[in-house]
Amino acid sequence: MLVVMQSDATADQIAAVVGAIRAMGLTAHPMAGPTRTAIGITGNVVAVDPRTLEILPGVRELIRVTRPYKLASREMHPDDTIVRTPQTEIGAGGFTVIAGPCSVENETMLLRTAEYLVARGVKLLRGGAFKPRTSPYAFQGLGRKGLEILAKARRETGIGIVTEVLDTETAGAVEEVADVLQVGTRNMQNYSLLRRVGRAAKPVLLKRGMSATLEEWLMAAEYVLSEGNRQVVLCERGVRTFADHTRNTLDLSVIPPVKQQCHLPVVVDPSHGTGKAAYVMPMALAALAAGADGLMVEVHPEPAQAISDGAQSLDFGSFDRLMERLRRLGEALEREVG
């Protein structure tokens, strides 16, 4: 933390700021420059709210330095975290593909998709039973019936289940079925839900909020971690910007900073990121090349018949081509895809 004084701040004003810093139990380091004085602050800044220093007379601005996350920080935890499900692991060097329909529509379609994916070497199936929808009038998912279908697909094919937890009320039911609990974009700062999945015995896949900074995203992970659940996968799915050529702006450039600052694995969802099936393949390949730990992609036996997100879902033929190219690329990068 750094307090920048106005160029005409008096010695008394500087002394008052130094005093206020000390009163917070922190250490003040005044630095006189040619035009103004700045005052460095060291100590445990997180416990207090030093933003109030900004309203003291003579203060021009306050510059925050310390990143407030701890458990999510690579500085505190240098080794990569590997997230494990009974079927596979994420973050151990390979490139994990999570695939499936936007929502569980019916048993036939889901089983058909699960069998198809297992045959292609995919270990984790995505599919929503509880769906967050912008409109209250849109299909909200099959709910508990959808969970049963997911459980059946798991039993019959051995594939792992990644599915969304929408609220604390239904978290228990989802936890029974899922191998990975997905927290959606709109819930990235639903702290009650984060605490709830932080007490779950299953890994959590935490999607980045629509306009979350990297720090806010990692702080959301910190909520989960601080409750005891250390198995968290981050998922980049596009952020909101002025750009209108894709549904969202898939921010692949967040991957290197995530890797640098955090030890958790990170996967990419190019289906929501682009909103268009034709753009999924190039963005999936780019995610692998950029160093992501995996992919989350929408696949549907008949996209044109999908109840939701058909426009961004791959059909089986496209998914076959995607896997083939991912594997070729993976070989060049010495990373196993699947």
Pick out residues in 153-192 that bind a second copy (CB under 8 A): 166-169, 186-187, 189-192
Q: Of 269, 286, 93, whose CA–CA distance to 164 is shortest?
A: 269
**Shortest distance, CB of residue 299 to a second copy, whole angstroms?**
14
C-alpha distances (whole Å) from 256 to each of 85, 209, 260 are 25, 18, 6
Give me the residue label for tokens 């002394």: 15
In the complex, minimum distance from the CB of residue 5 to a second copy, in angstroms, rounded to a whole number: 11
Q: Binding-site residue total for a second copy (CB under 8 A)?
A: 108
Residue 218's Cβ-side half-sphere holds a number of Cα atoms within 13 Å equal to 22
Instruction: Name residues contacting a second copy, limited to 21-40 (CB under 8 A).
Output: 27, 29, 31-34, 38, 40
Q: Does 317 bind a second copy (CB under 8 A)?
A: no
Contact 271, 303 (CB under 8 A): no
Q: Which of 10, 108, 172, 210 binds a second copy (CB under 8 A)?
A: 210
Residues 116-145 that bind a second copy (CB under 8 A): 132-138
Residue choice 97, 159, 181, 254 for contact with a second copy (CB under 8 A): 254
- Residue-level length of the chain: 338
Q: Which stretch binds a second copy (CB under 8 A): 56-64, 88-96, 141-149, 174-182?
A: 56-64
Out of 264, 273, 296, 297, the only residue in the binding site for a second copy (CB under 8 A) is 273
Q: How far is the CB of 180 from a second copy (least distance, A)?
A: 20
Q: What is the DSSP letter of 269?
A: -
Separation between Cα atoms, residue 270 and residue 22, nearest integer Å:
49
288 is a site residue for a second copy (CB under 8 A) = yes
Question: At 162, phi and psi to the nearest 5?
Answer: -115, 115
285 CB neighbour count, 10 Å cutoff? 18
Q: How many C-beta atoms lie closer than 10 Å to residue 12's C-beta? A: 10
Q: At what angle do helices 144-157 and 107-119 cross, to 10 degrees?
A: 30
Binders of a second copy among residues 223 to 252 (CB under 8 A) are: 223, 226, 238-246, 249-252
**C-alpha Rg value of the chain to the nearest Å:** 23
By CB under 8 A, name the one of 93, 115, 145, 333 that touches a second copy.
333
Q: Of 7 and 108, which has the nearer Cβ to a second copy? A: 7
Nearer to a second copy, 153 or 166 (CB): 166
Using CB under 8 A as the binding rule, whether residue 94 contacts a second copy is answered as no
Q: Is 316 left (phi over 0), alpha (psi -120 to 50) or beta?
A: alpha
Query: Is residue 68 part of the contact set for a second copy (CB under 8 A)?
Result: yes
Strand partners, 267: 235, 294
CB of 234 vs a second copy, minimal distance in Å = 13
Using the rule CB under 8 A, which residue among 176, 320, 324, 331 binds a second copy?
331
Q: State which of positions 295-314 bind a second copy (CB under 8 A).
A: 303-311
- Quick one: 161 or 255, whose CB is closer to a second copy? 255
For residue 66, give the DSSP letter: S
Single residue of 94, 143, 291, 301 touching a second copy by CB under 8 A: 291
DSSP β-ladder status, 59-63 and 2-5 = antiparallel
